[in-house]
Structure 1
Amino acid sequence: MPLLGTAALLLSFDVAPEVVAEHDRWHTQEHLPERLAIPGFLRGTRWVAVAGGPRYLVLYEVADLAVLAGPDYLARLNAPSPWTQALMPHYRGMRRGLCRVRASVGPGLGGEALLLLPDRGAVLSEPVRYRGAYLLEAAGRAPAAGAAASPA
């Protein structure tokens, strides 16, 4: 199944080891549902590194880039919940990328992803392999055939 929408927000990061379980609960129970309640957010997925890092890769598929500069998203971004505020100091090496989707093809959702990060200019670091850990689609959208939301 191709990506939904014409844009995406891609994040990669680590969290302090002592808060991994709490982070995953927060991300599953509060953060993903909160983001997908914003108009234009269509689907969110969290991926966990098979080895190496950063540990997490998160992909939000959005209707278009305007969603990521719109008042609904900015209001949420600028007014984090108490749980969000408690976890943010434990984030390490956060990278955020706003992306246009130029092409997306295929019959289903992949179970693995590969991330290439720039390292010292034009040289790419070693690729990091990720496995899908959690999938959530915006309310009103039927889950993709064969896709199951499973908390990490």
Structure 2
Amino acid sequence: MNDRDGWIAMADDGFIGLVGPIYHWPFDGSATSRFRFFPESKHTNRMDVVHGGMLMTFADRALGFTARRGDLQRRQATVQLDVHFVKSVRVGEIVDFEGRIISETRTLAFVDGMMTVGGETVLTARGLWRVWSETSKA
């Protein structure tokens, strides 16, 4: 998939490949990361706004990659995801997400983030990710 104005498409042959593309800004090694999503008609619900499930999927993917710190080999899974919907999102709007690592232990990553459209908050999220070492089993 092609990059879009510096944003890198996240390649995924699984579920995200069906609902994406989702983009990320190049990781710089910090505890904060940035993501972008361009809603299409396939993402809407009966009210002609972006389906809440799609916004939750975007938040889950963004927070998961934030917890991963750009290391695609790091094995982890969502344990908990809390989402608060603030405003609706429409097709054609550019949806941004900024995630940050709050705290980490050897096996857990605590992350949160904010989804915005045009600088206005549309969703907040907080989550907990279980992290496994490369040698351990899930």
Q: Give the TM-score of the pair, scaled to structure 2.
A: 0.31
Q: Which structure features the higher share of helix residues?
A: 1
Q: Greater relative contact order (Cα 8 A, min sep 6): structure 1 or 2?
A: 1
Q: Which structure features the higher share of strand residues?
A: 2
Q: Give the TM-score of the pair, scaled to structure 1.
A: 0.29
